[in-house]
Amino acid sequence: MSVLRIGIVAAGVVALIALMLPAGAGAHAERATFFPDPNQGDFPTYRTDGPSLVVCKPNSRYRIAQIADPDLRRYNEELLSRCTFRDIQAAVNRAANGYRILVLPGVYYEKPSNGPAPAGCEDVYQRTANGQFALSYEEHRQCPNAQNLIAVLGDTDGDRICDSKCNIQIEGTGDGPEDVRINGQKTKLNVIRADRADGIYIKNMTVWYSDFNNIYVLETNGFRIDQVVSRYSREYGILSFTSDHGIYENCEASHSGDSGLYPGSGPNARHGQPDVHGHVYGIEIRHCVSHHNTIGESGTAGNGTWSHDNVFRNNAIGITTDSFAGGHPGMPQDSSKWSHNLIYSNNNNIFTDDRDAYCQNTPWEERDNRKVCPTFQVPVGTGLLIAGGNANKVEENYVFDNWRNGTMLFWVPAALRGENDSEKTYDTSSNNQYLRNCMSTRPFDLSAVDFTTCEGTRDSNGKDFWWDEEEGNDCVEEQAGCVDNDTQFGNCWSGNQGFDGETPSSDPVDVLLPMCPGLDVFRPGNADKQAFLVPCATWDPMTNTDPPGCDWFTTPPEP
Amino acid sequence: MEAPRSATAALVAVFVCALAFAAGCGDDSGPGREQLTWIDTPDVVVPPGLKTDRILRGDVRNDSNKKLRIEAAKVRVYDDRGHRIKGSATFAAGYLHSLYPPTRGPSNVPDYELERIGKIATIDAGKSAQITVSWREPKGRRTAARIDYGTGSLRIPPEAKTRRERNF
- Structure confidence by residue, pLDDT tens digits, A153-199: 999 999 999 999 999 999 999 999 999 999 999 999 999 999 999 99
Given A227, A257, A287, which residue is the final one in a domain? A257
What mean pLDDT, rounded, does chain A reach? 94
Residue A438 lies in a domain: yes
Residue A459 shares a structural domain with residue A498: yes
Residue A285 lies in a domain: no
Among A468, A492, A360, A353, which Cα is nearest to A412's?
A468
Residue A486 shares a structural domain with residue A409: yes
The predicted structure's pLDDT at residue A487: 82
B12 pLDDT more than 60: no
B62 pLDDT more than 60: yes
Average pLDDT over residues B14-30: 40
Domain count, chain A: 2
A362 chain-B contacts, CB cut-off 8 A: none
A494 pLDDT more than 90: yes
Mutate to test the interface with B, among A321, A534, A536, A550 (most CBs of B within 10 A): A534
Q: Do the Cβ atoms of A549 and B55 come within 8 Å? A: yes
Residue B84 near residue A358, CB atoms below 8 Å: no
A91 pLDDT more than 60: yes
Residues 6 or more apart in contact with residue A7 via CB below 8 angstroms: A38, A268, A269, A270, A271, A478
The predicted structure's pLDDT at residue A507: 97
Average pLDDT over residues A522-543: 95
What percent of chain A clears pLDDT 90, i.e. is strictly above it? 91
Residue A245 shares a structural domain with residue A377: no
Segment holding A214, helix H or strand E: strand A213-218
Q: Do the Cβ atoms of B96 and A325 come within 8 Å? A: yes
Cα–Cα distance measured from residue A303 to residue A242, given in angstroms and rounded to the nearest whole number:
10
Of the pLDDT bands very low, low, confident and very high (cuts 50, 70, 90), residue A408 is very high
Q: Rounded to a whole number, what is the distance in Å from the CA of B86 to chain A's nearest CA?
A: 7
Residue A353 shares a structural domain with residue A485: yes
Residue A383 shares a structural domain with residue A484: yes
**Strands B68-71, B120-123: parallel, antiparallel or unpaired by DSSP?**
antiparallel
Cα–Cα distance measured from residue A30 to residue A512, given in angstroms and rounded to the nearest whole number:
42
Residue A358 lies in a domain: yes
Among A139, A39, A57, which Cα is nearest to A104's?
A57
Average pLDDT over residues A19-36: 64
Segment holding A444, helix H or strand E: none
Q: Among A132, A541, A549, whose Cβ lies nearest the Cβ of B102?
A: A541
> Residue A51 belongs to what domain range?
43-257
The predicted structure's pLDDT at residue B15: 44
Of the pLDDT bands very low, low, confident and very high (cuts 50, 70, 90), residue A11 is very low
Q: What is the pLDDT of residues A238-278, one digit of tens each?
A: 999 999 999 999 999 999 999 999 999 999 999 999 999 99
Give how far Cα A548 sits from Cα of A349, A539, A557, B103, B109, Å: 18, 10, 19, 21, 25
DSSP calls for A84-140? -BSSHHHHHHH--TT-EEEE-SEEE--GGGGSPPPTT-HHHHHHHHTT-----HHHH
Q: Rounded to a whole number, what is the distance in Å from the CA of B102 to chain A's nearest CA?
A: 6
Residue A335 lies in a domain: yes
Q: Do the Cβ atoms of A531 and B116 come within 8 Å? A: no
B33 pLDDT more than 60: no
| Sign for the pseudo-dihedral over CA of B86, B92, B94, B95 | negative
CA angle A147, A148, A150 (to 5 degrees): 165
Of the pLDDT bands very low, low, confident and very high (cuts 50, 70, 90), residue B7 is very low
Residue A16 shares a structural domain with residue A48: no
B26 pLDDT more than 50: no
A346 pLDDT more than 50: yes
Residue A19 shares a structural domain with residue A99: no
Residue A361 lies in a domain: yes
| Long-range CB contact pairs, A56-62, < 8 A, 24+ | A56/A80, A56/A83, A56/A85, A56/A86, A56/A103, A56/A104, A56/A106, A57/A86, A57/A104, A57/A106, A57/A107, A57/A108, A59/A106, A60/A104, A60/A105, A60/A106
A31 pLDDT more than 70: yes
The predicted structure's pLDDT at residue B162: 63
Q: Tally the C-alpha atoms within 13 A of residue A540's C-alpha that lie toward its C-beta.
A: 16
B6 pLDDT more than 80: no
Residue A102 shares a structural domain with residue A210: yes
A428 chain-B contacts, CB cut-off 8 A: none
The predicted structure's pLDDT at residue B25: 40
Q: Tally the C-alpha atoms within 13 A of residue A152's C-alpha that lie toward its C-beta.
A: 37
The predicted structure's pLDDT at residue A500: 97
Average pLDDT over residues A515-544: 95
Count Cβ–Cβ pairs < 8 Å, chain A vs chain B. 135
Average pLDDT over residues A16-40: 65
Residue A475 shares a structural domain with residue A501: yes
Chain B CA closest to residue A211: B104
Cα–Cα distance measured from residue A34 to residue A138, given in angstroms and rounded to the nearest whole number:
15
- Which phi and psi (to 5°) does residue A322 adopt? -155, 170
Chain A CA closest to residue B46: A549
Q: Do the Cβ atoms of A551 and B47 come within 8 Å? A: yes
Chain B CA closest to residue A412: B94
The predicted structure's pLDDT at residue A131: 85
The predicted structure's pLDDT at residue B140: 87
Residue A302 lies in a domain: no
Beta bridge partners of A180: A106
